Amino acid sequence: MDNKFQWVYSEKVKDHFIHPRNVLEDEAKYNADGRGIVGNIKCGDEMIVAIKVDKEKNTIAECKWKTYGCASAIASTSILSEIVIGKTLDQAYHLTAKDIAKELGGLPEHKIHCSVLGHKALRAAIEDYYTRSGMTDKVEEEKAHIICQCMNVTDIEIEQAVLEGARTYLELQEHTKLGTVCGQCKDKAIQMLEEYKKKHFSK
């Protein structure tokens, strides 16, 4: 190995990357109670999470997954699958990306979005189960709010930009193009930038 190469992840990330747990081997034959898919393989990481539910205890009995992506994405989904087994659906549904990153011993800032994808895929699988089971009242819809009217940029897109590395207003503009026409959204955008930095990266 090149002496200049340095592994920047924790040993737990390395372990789950090299020895992933609960991988979904045959998606077509796996009889899932709920299934969620997020991301896009054409432009980045894609994650599939499939769950089986213990309907008497209302807990997750099995959690299988398939991820197309980097070491952080694979490790995040692997450890997620271990964390949620035995948890109630409500506990698993409200697990956060920060919880996943903490279990991994931390992730580099520019890779935090990988734990967010795993978290979203799990939520999508649980929502799929709720929908199939006629419990749509339990689904918490994520509504986007437009922050930059000129460029049609939403709060969700601002959060994603922060997760992908935007730390300043200029970097946020480079990611989203917000504030490049009239500039009236600048103060609100800066406020949200700071809120999302605190949400995802504060200790």
Identify the active-site residue in 43, 63, 148, 150: 43
**Alpha carbon distance 119, 63 (integer Å):** 13
CB neighbourhood size of 60 (10 A): 27
Is residue 148 part of the annotated active site? The answer reads no
Specify whether the CB–CB gap between 34 and 127 falls below 8 A: yes
Say which of 63, 114, 148, 185 is annotated catalytic: 114
Active site residue 114: yes
Give the separation between CA 194 and CA 201, rounded to whole angstroms. 10
Question: Which residues are designated catalytic?
Answer: 43, 114
